A = this chain, B = another copy of it.
Amino acid sequence: MPYVKIEVTREGVTREQKQQLIAGITHLITDVLDKDPSLTHVVIQEIELDDWGFAGEQVSVLREKGITAQKNK
């Protein structure tokens, strides 16, 4: 009976990326924990940039300053 919640800033996540997350996490959990996939639910929640704070600053403010969360920067 796993339930997974993913919270991520709303910055253009596509339907395909969501499907990749849902499929990948379900596969990982059912594989590692030997769980029935039909008992595994994954919920994605996108958060507005004004509503996520990191290190005391709104992400919207960080983005205006050119600070991203990407790994390839």
A residues near B, CB below 8 A? Answer: 1-9, 13, 15, 17-30, 32-47, 50-61, 69-73
Contact = CB atoms under 8 A, between A and B. Distances in A.
Main secondary structure of the interface of A (DSSP, over half): mixed
Contacts of A44: 50-53
A43 B40 CA distance: 14
What 3 A-B pairs have minimum CB-CB distances, sorted nearest first? A22-B53, A42-B53, A26-B56
Contacts of A61: 19
Contacts of A22: 53, 56-58
B17 A7 contact: no
Given A2-B8, A36-B73, 14 more contacts: A1-B47, A3-B43, A4-B7, A18-B58, A22-B56, A23-B57, A26-B53, A26-B56, A34-B72, A36-B71, A38-B55, A39-B54, A43-B51, A45-B51
